[in-house]
Amino acid sequence: MQKYNIYEEGVFEYNVGYPYITCLRSMSQTWAIYCLALFYVALKKQSHDSEGYQIFMKLKPVNKFLCVKGIVFFTYWQSVLIAGLVWLGLLKRTEKWDENSIAVGLQDFIICIEMFFASVAHLFAFQIHHFQQYHYSQLAPPHHIMFDVANMQDVVGDARDTLRTSTHELLFLGKKRKEKDEDNEYSDDNENNEDDIDDDTL
């Protein structure tokens, strides 16, 4: 769009691309937040006695979510708001600065201030004892970690397995897993009933 001069960042008109791209990005980010919320709810519904639930809750995931994703989404909406103020004429040009330069400079200036408070919040959200108490293994040397992060074999393998698996196979695997969970739940109920009968007999 920028190549053909039809993007026009900060212009909310029907004949330019900026409002449509902004709408798509807003929908995408809203969907991302929704998926993360579902992920949080699913993890929170684990058995309260399970080790996974205990670790999950002690890590205080809500604070970490707000510190990381909150910054990303908030700064984006902030840029849209500033662009809207420019388009409405509430931010006017000066002798040395036009409207777009003022919008960019204002956004950068506000982010510099916000990042100071965000860094302080990170000190409380990502405390080292959250991770030390679970006796994780000692980290590998830094250069090994860099090579491991750059290694794309797991991504390629997952993509290959996903592409090779048909929709029918995925549905079949999901059905089998559901049946297995139901069988386990039925077995647990039978064991509980047998225990109750034994207690009544005694």
Handedness of CA 110, 115, 117, 118 (dihedral sign): positive
User: Same structural domain for residues 112 and 177?
Assistant: no
Domain identity same for 173 and 132: no
> Do residues 25 and 76 make contact, with C-beta atoms less than 8 angstroms apart?
yes
Residues 35 and 118 in one domain: yes
Specify whether 196 is located in the same domain as 144: yes
- Whether residue 144 sits in one domain with residue 59: no
Burial 104-139 (b: 16+ CB within 10 A, else e): bebbeeeeeeeeeebeeebeebeeeeeeeeeeeeee
Work out the mean pLDDT of the chain and round it to a whole number: 75
Alpha-carbon torsion (192, 198, 201, 202), positive or negative: negative
Q: Tell me the H-state helices in the chain.
A: 18-44, 51-58, 61-87, 99-125, 129-132, 142-150, 153-164, 167-201
Of residues 156, 78, 83, 85, the one with CA closest to residue 118: 78
82 with 106: CB under 8 angstroms? yes
- 121, 136, 151 - which closes a domain: 136
Range of the domain at 38: 1-136
Instruction: For 104-155, write each residue's pLDDT tens digit.
Output: 888 889 999 988 998 898 888 887 776 665 555 556 677 777 777 788 887 8
pLDDT digits (tens, 9 = 90+) for 41-75: 887 887 777 777 777 777 778 888 888 888 888 88
Radius of gyration of the chain (CA): 26
The angle subtended at Cα 178 by Cα 172 and Cα 182, nearest 5°, is 145
Query: pTM of the full predicted structure?
Result: 0.53
Do residues 125 and 173 share a domain?
Answer: no
- pLDDT reported for residue 171: 53
Looking at residue 16, the DSSP 8-state letter turns out to be S
Domain check: are 130 and 149 in the same one?
no
Residues 66, 10 share a domain: yes
The number of distinct structural domains making up the chain is 2
26 and 82 assigned to the same domain: yes
Give CA–CA dist 139/111, Å, rounded: 33
Mean pLDDT over residues 80-87, rounded? 85
Last residue of a domain, one of 114, 136, 158: 136
Q: Which of 35, 26, 123 is nearest to 79 (CA)?
A: 26
For residue 101, give both structure tokens. Answer: 């330069």
Rounded CA separation 202/199 (Å): 5
42 with 75, same domain: the answer is yes
Do both 145 and 48 map to the same domain? no
Answer yes or no: do 25 and 120 share one domain: yes
* Domain end point (choices 117, 136, 155): 136
